[in-house]
Amino acid sequence: MKTARIATYHRCSTLDQNPKLAREELRAVAARLGELVLEIEEKGSGARNDRPGFRKLMEAARKGAIDVVAVWKLDRFGRSTVDLLDNIKALGTAGVRFTATSQGLDVKPDGDAMSRLLVTMLAAVAEFERDLIRERTRLGLAAARRSGKRLGRPSSLPAGGADQVAQLRAAGKSWAEVAEAVGVSVMAARRAAAN
């Protein structure tokens, strides 16, 4: 039987978090499960999924270079429930087992009954979270409209805007910079320059 290749991943979201405890626990789990072949620690916000260490981990999974991903806690592996579920599903598709060591969560890619139950529960929570976000957004937009706020960028230039567009373009500004300076969309700025 081949030795499982383990990757550990830990993200500290703030500079004051000390990764030492998580590092020790993850290394102990890796030693118990197989051989540690990839250890990633990074600092940064979980609000971004383009973290370099995270990308490296997911690429290793896609290439079949690892068999297990061990994290200390679920919230270290995804920005939201939706994101976490997507990340776990991507690992499962790649045939990689996922475990959150401090929470006793173990999701196997072969679809055993407990893993399917856990993923189904996470999917339900993710769907609930998506619906809440959608509802909050809808209510916020409706409240803004009721209070008379105009949503989006203006579709027409203010007085003297066409001259300002021409001057900014002559000064070598990009369309995005021109649109920002005048306070309209890039398309409105381009239309003004074409007239």
DSSP three-state, residue 14: coil
Rounded distance between C-alpha atoms, residue 164 and residue 189, angstroms: 10
Which DSSP string corresponds to 27-43?
HHHHHHHEEEEEEEEEE
Q: Which two tokens stand for residue 81?
A: 């429930």
Between the CA atoms of 111, 113, 117 and 118, what dihedral angle is there, to the nearest 10 degrees? -60
From 13, 45, 155, 174, active-site residue: 13
**Is 174 considered catalytic here?**
no
CA 70 vs. chain centroid, Å, equals 18
Catalytic sites, residue numbers: 13
